[in-house]
Chains A and B, each alone.
Chain A
């Protein structure tokens, strides 16, 4: 009988499973159609038809083979054109970009390419759950840096300066932020540039929510001239075009780094899905209006949910990006885990405890507003009732 524990890598075994799983398990076991989930973070739109149709057409044409490792040239060119058009970012389609299996693969590749055992990686939290575990897999050391509600969950120059040590290799830059909805504006970025001046600390800028910025235009660290050469931009199609299941993203940055990084992608993935790449070309060429339409729709629901949160007496920082609210539940005296568990069991509304997103998330819950107006209203009515009972 093999002792499986002993044959597995200790870094894998040391990874914590996502603390969230149990909420979806409870939800699933309820088998209750009246349960409302504001838990999952993905668009509630179906991929626009013309994009799906382009994928279907590529199948009809028999385009079912691998593409080049870096992704189709045509797609890389279209992405570069898009990045210039939308965000004034200049990248060379030959060598400064390649296409990955979702933004997630790109994040993994950046960390594996840069991090050596013992290197410190600064991870602002609350944030998406993947960064720390991926750093651990490279035997690096995640250094969690708590962003604060009073700073609108922005990363401040002072906090960053205090976290930097001679071992710091990489700064994770997760803005617009999941779960807080925080954004970083040009002024903030210039202050970050000031802190990083004279260092070789690289930035992994996870910009998957860049198109979902409300009332402001997204600025990338790579828009700051002196940060351009330090920055790896990760982006993708999932959030902007409601293409989560197509699994398509990309990474842009300095040629020497991408050249090395491409080797891992070659050995591990070969090439991103061909059908998805054809669909993505259509998205890049003719999808700007879809983005606009979806952003407007999210923005209306963002305003609605924020107003309803205030009405039921929860305080919440106004998020300017992504599609999440991160209200404080400290006034209830419950932990975010207790709050979420009881809300789910007693009122059948699923939200995610902030503690799942790392330090600084305790005392908050994440609610996704990419849900119908009727769902948002009903969920908030039930939350209001729940709060009154406490």
Chain B
């Protein structure tokens, strides 16, 4: 059944009819499966992969390492909730290794992101330290390379 998910991950604009054709199921079966995935939060949304650098919109993204003191009873979860509910936070991961949280934050400018870190993230109870790394160039995201695809010289051959 995961073939439906794989196809949607490849291109979420595939229609139920297309998915049905490619997986050998009926359109109704596909629609039903998708709605079940949605209800079970296996599918959590549909979005576009946008290269904002190619638009007028100013945008910066930072990868922030955060060290925290785990809370009694709740471990990391409670602090995670306090962090990820900010709109600025694009992604939040609990990590193994030298730091605890990896937080991906987007904003309009370096200043905006810095302010978020210093005024909102760092002061949260339990946050011991932060280290902010700004993303300079996005090469690949979700399996998609963002560079312009190079085409080989056009060929006129018959195979």
Contacts and interface: CB of A to CB of B under 8 A. Distances in A.
Interface in A31-54: 40-42
Nearest to A299: B22
Interface residues of A, number: 24
Given A28-B154, A373-B14, A308 B159 contact: no
Contacts of A377: 18
A373 B18 contact: yes
A129 B157 CA distance: 12
Given A28-B154, A373-B11, A303 B21 contact: yes
Interface stretch (A18-26, A93-101, A112-120): A18-26
A129 B152 CA distance: 25
A303 B23 contact: yes
B156 interface: yes
B22 A304 contact: yes
A40 B24 contact: no
Nearest to B17: A307
A304 B23 CA distance: 9
A40 B154 CA distance: 11
A18 B22 contact: no
B22 A40 contact: no
Counting chain B CB atoms within 10 Å of each CB, the highest count among A301, A307, A308, A356 belongs to A307
Nearest to B156: A24
A61 to B, nearest CB: 25
Interface residues of B, number: 16
A371 to B, nearest CB: 14
A46 B142 CA distance: 18
Nearest to B6: A296
A14 B18 CA distance: 47
Counting chain A CB atoms within 10 Å of each CB, the highest count among B22, B157, B159 belongs to B159
B46 interface: no
A353 to B, nearest CB: 12
A31 B50 CA distance: 29
A186 B152 CA distance: 40
Interface string B20-31: 011110000000
Nearest to A178: B159
Given A373-B11, A373-B14, A304 B156 contact: no
Interface string A152-196: 000000000000000000000000001000000000000000000
Counting chain A CB atoms within 10 Å of each CB, the highest count among B18, B21, B22 belongs to B21
Contact of A41 (B152, B154, B159): B159
B159 A300 contact: no
A129 B22 contact: no
A356 B158 CA distance: 10
Contacts of B157: 24, 40
A121 B156 CA distance: 29
10 contacts: A18-B158, A41-B159, A129-B158, A245-B152, A300-B7, A303-B21, A303-B23, A303-B24, A304-B18, A304-B22
Interface of A: 18, 20-21, 24-25, 28, 40-42, 128-129, 178, 244-245, 300-301, 303-304, 306-308, 356, 373, 377
Question: 4 smallest A-B Cβ distances: which pairs?
Answer: A300-B22, A307-B21, A24-B156, A304-B21
Given A40-B157, A178-B159, A377-B18, 9 more contacts: A40-B155, A40-B159, A129-B158, A300-B22, A303-B22, A303-B23, A306-B21, A373-B14, A373-B18
